[in-house]
């Protein structure tokens, strides 16, 4: 077992698989919204960015090979956009990417992936913590639809509050330590039990995880149920681990 069970709780299997390109995983608790099928992309792409909100491209990767020509952008928004404004901006940038020319192997990009994040921390984590995204692969015959993480978008407007006697920053720390405890349990179980004895390895991992999490809840004076609530909160708000 090479993945933490915490990450298996938070991350569903990849929900989009694009031929010759990347996909994007979403968290189990998040709600994904796409515009109604009757909405015309041309109308979306003509909108201007919302007043006072800027979108900063912090990373762009362009791959131009005989197999595919791919554009991937990682973008951070400066403040809290409306859902409609976020959809408009993502589609506007998608149409701009579609209009790019000058590639060596293909006339236009065959694969386009655009991700918008609420914070640089989410973007740099590389954990699929976007608030909105769009993806196009070579087999797509229709315009792609913008996907919005309703819960992570809403979390940008939440006022931090205290829960279980801990501030939000302290709960983020607890979440990271919980993830580290699971990583530690996995590594140690793999080191102690050979892969040929997979069931024993799984049992060892569970025992170690329980031990380290019990130490964690005692450290912060929490119950196991409260720790699980913090994990769920982290998934909903898109906290990096």
Query: How many whole angstroms separate alpha carbon 217 and alpha carbon 239?
Result: 19
Quick one: pLDDT at residue 45?
34
Quick one: pLDDT at residue 7?
46
Domain residue spans of the chain: 16-154, 168-237
Q: How many CB atoms lie within 10 A of CB 35?
A: 18
Please list the pLDDT of the chain residue by residue as tens digits (241 residues). Answer: 444 454 444 443 333 333 334 443 333 333 444 444 333 333 333 345 677 899 999 999 999 999 999 999 999 999 999 999 999 999 999 999 999 999 999 999 999 999 999 999 999 998 999 999 999 999 998 999 999 999 999 999 999 999 999 999 999 999 999 999 999 999 999 999 998 999 999 999 999 999 999 999 999 999 999 999 999 999 999 999 8
Closest among 56, 32, 5 to 152, alpha carbons compared = 32
Rounded to whole angstroms, the maximal C-alpha distance in the chain is 60
Buried b or exposed e, range 67-98, using 16+ CB within 10 angstroms: ebbbbbbbbbbeebbebebbbbbbbbbbbebe
User: Residue 125 has which token pair?
Assistant: 């984590």
Quick one: pLDDT at residue 141?
86
């Amino acid at each position: 077992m090479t993945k933490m069970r915490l990450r298996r709780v938070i991350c569903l299997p990849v929900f989009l698989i694009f031929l010759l390109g990347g996909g994007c995983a979403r968290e189990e608790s998040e709600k994904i919204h796409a515009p109604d099928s009757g909405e015309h992309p041309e109308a979306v792409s003509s909108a201007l960015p919302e007043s006072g909100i800027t979108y900063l491209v912090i990373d762009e990767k362009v791959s131009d090979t005989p197999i595919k020509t791919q554009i991937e952008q990682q973008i951070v928004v400066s403040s809290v956009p409306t859902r409609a404004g976020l959809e408009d901006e993502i589609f506007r940038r998608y149409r701009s990417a579609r209009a790019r020319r000058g590639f060596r192997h293909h006339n236009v990009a065959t694969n386009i992936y655009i991700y918008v994040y609420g914070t640089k921390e989410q973007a740099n984590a590389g954990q699929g913590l976007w608030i909105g995204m769009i993806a196009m692969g070579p087999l797509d015959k229709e315009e792609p639809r913008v996907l919005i993480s309703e819960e992570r978008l809403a979390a940008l407007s939440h006022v931090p509050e205290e829960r279980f006697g801990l501030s939000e920053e302290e709960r983020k720390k607890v979440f990271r330590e919980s993830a580290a405890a699971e990583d530690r349990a996995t590594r140690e179980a793999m080191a102690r039990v050979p892969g040929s004895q997979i069931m024993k390895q799984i049992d060892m991992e569970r025992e170690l995880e329980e031990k380290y999490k019990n130490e964690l809840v005692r450290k912060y004076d929490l119950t196991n149920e409260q720790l699980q609530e913090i994990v769920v909160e982290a998934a909903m708000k898109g906290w990096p681990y």
